[in-house]
Amino acid sequence: MAINKKLNFELNGIMYDYKLFDTLKSIKQNKSQRKSAKELGISHTVLNRRILNAEKDLSEKLVIVSNKGSFLTDYALNLLEEYESYEQRLVDDDVWVMTGGFISCEFIRELAMAYQLENIKILQTDLDMAIDLANKGLIDILGFDDPVQAYIRNLEPVALGRDKLMLLTHGDENFDKLSDLNGLKFVEVEGSAQRLAWTTLANYDLDFDIVDTVSSFHEAIRMVEQDPLLYTFINNSLSYTSLNTNNILAEDTRHIISALNVKNSVEVESFLNFASHNAQNVTCNFGFEHL
């Protein structure tokens, strides 16, 4: 059965729209940017800008233009091959496919590796895309980094473990009391549980400013590490990525990481229940807390 898949893909902490990969596919086939633009129903200028913007973000050349036409670089060909392998996983009946936010995906990834569960493929994407794939019946497990995202959709996922937020700092800075956070500038990670931090700061009448919103923790961490005037919050299960964290809001930001059995599979339900019960000691090793 042919399924119209529209899959976004994260690279180096940046989420790329499926349109980029549609463009690479078309150029590979047509060997002409003008033919590809016509095939995709866009102008040549839009197509060219799409490629140039991606090349700038990736710091890699994607397309080579010569008097014989336009051709994908080896990097672009490998990138496209990886993307298409993920597309195939969405329609492969022999494996489970899980998608969701970074934290829930890492929870399931580590647990699956620890117990040598080989028939599961994990695809991290933005929540809107994950919900769309679930609605189309293309995935088996839908992960939630923030419990409110399931609640507002009237869904009842299986609770897997608890996490909390840590303030990402700049080395020797001290934050001993909440008032020390007054006046700070933050980078927000879209779809994460950081809303708990913002609510806490607002409840204590602290002045703070969210200056940018990004799609991944890795991007937020990179921005903060490069600018001593920026801060962010990361999950405790991610704190291994940085030596400079502070638990000043940990008690106020504890939350549940959960996952939904999209197709009501007995096998998936058994695995998720195992994750939420017998495997709690294992997942604590990954920085999560007991339920």
Q: What is the pLDDT of residues 166-213, one digit of tens each?
A: 999 987 788 999 999 999 999 999 889 999 999 999 999 999 999 999
- Per-residue pLDDT band at 13 (split at 50, 70, 90): low
Under CATH, to which class is 165-252 assigned? alpha beta
- Per-residue pLDDT band at 57 (split at 50, 70, 90): confident
- Across the range 23-51, mean pLDDT stands at 93
Which of the 8 DSSP states describes residue 252?
G
CB-hemisphere CA count at 13 Å for 157?
28
- Across the range 98-126, mean pLDDT stands at 86
Q: Determine which of 75-89, 127-141, 252-266 has the lowest per-residue pLDDT on average.
A: 75-89
Which of residues 119 and 211 earns the better pLDDT score?
A: 211
- Percentage, residues of the chain above pLDDT 90: 52
Two tokens, residue 85: 């392998």
Q: Determine which of 48-52, 103-107, 243-247 has the lowest per-residue pLDDT on average.
A: 243-247
Residue 159: what pLDDT? 94
* Range list for CATH 3.40.190.10 in the chain: 92-163+257-284, 165-252
- pLDDT tens digit sequence for 255-267: 999 999 999 998 8
Give pTM, 2 decimals.
Answer: 0.69
Is it the case that residue 34 has pLDDT exceeding 50? Answer: yes
Residue 90: what pLDDT? 60
Distances (CA, A) of 50 to 12, 18, 57, 81, 100: 17, 11, 11, 19, 26
Residue reference for tokens 């994460």: 192
* Range list for CATH 1.10.10.10 in the chain: 9-85
Enumerate the β-bridge partners of residue 143.
100, 259
- Across the range 59-65, mean pLDDT stands at 92
Which of the 8 DSSP states describes residue 17?
P
CATH architecture designation of domain 92-163+257-284: 3-Layer(aba) Sandwich (3.40)
Which of residues 14 and 181 earns the better pLDDT score?
A: 181
Q: What angle do CA 212, 223, 236 make, to 5 degrees?
A: 95
The domain 9-85: what is its CATH number?
1.10.10.10
- Per-residue pLDDT band at 1 (split at 50, 70, 90): very low
- Per-residue pLDDT band at 111 (split at 50, 70, 90): confident
- Per-residue pLDDT band at 37 (split at 50, 70, 90): very high
- Per-residue pLDDT band at 91 (split at 50, 70, 90): low
Enumerate the β-bridge partners of residue 245.
168
Enumerate the β-bridge partners of residue 162.
256, 289
C-beta of residue 291 within 8 angstroms of C-beta of residue 280: yes
Give CA–CA dist 219/225, Å, rounded: 10
